[in-house]
Amino acid sequence: MTRLLPILIPTVLGSALLYACAPTPSPAPTPEPEAEAQTESRIYTAGLASGSSGAGVLDGTRWVITGLPSRPMPFADRPSMAFDNMGVTGSTGCNRYFGGISVDEREILIAIMRVSRRACAPEVLGTEQAVLEALASADGFALYGQDRLEISAGGRVVIEAAREP
């Protein structure tokens, strides 16, 4: 027995140490509820100037920008955008802008050509910069029904907008 004691003590201690260091199993993940967007009617356009009349899904529409996921929108004079004759015009919340657009399948490219130069409060200038950057980075869009528009860049939403009443 005294000969077995030197062998048993390290074996028992080693087993206890291994048990104490073993990872505890994590609980099974709970399934995520289905996203609201999956139940909405999502409409993509093949072009802004489609159809015999030249009127496309965005042509002639006006939108109020309600959200920039990269920046809060705390002021009342919300940025806007309007699509007309393959161009875009709007307000950054301070200055006016206009530019050209190119659409192919589900893609949209926006090139801002001019921006007015009014003086604005610093927080409004920050939002202006965010709006212009979001428009310049746009590469896709989706309509939800007829009253909500999302513009995306690289697969993530950069502008959320509501149809102007």
Backbone torsions φ then ψ of 95, nearest 5 degrees: -105, 160
**For position 77, what pLDDT does the model report?**
74
Per CATH, domain 36-163 is 3.40.190.10: no
Q: Is the model's pLDDT at 140 over the cut of 80? A: yes
**For position 67, what pLDDT does the model report?**
92
Backbone torsions φ then ψ of 87, nearest 5 degrees: -135, 170
Q: Give the torsion through C-alpha atoms of 7, 10, 13, 19, to 10 deg.
A: -90
Q: Is the model's pLDDT at 50 over the cut of 60? A: no
How far apart (Å, rounded) are the C-alpha atoms in residues 80 and 90? 5
How far apart (Å, rounded) are the C-alpha atoms in residues 93 and 135? 14
Average pLDDT over residues 55-65: 83
Report the percent of the chain where pLDDT is more than 70.
Answer: 63
Backbone torsions φ then ψ of 41, nearest 5 degrees: -85, 110
Q: How many CB atoms lie within 10 A of CB 9?
A: 10
How far apart (Å, rounded) are the C-alpha atoms in residues 117 and 94? 9
DSSP 2: T
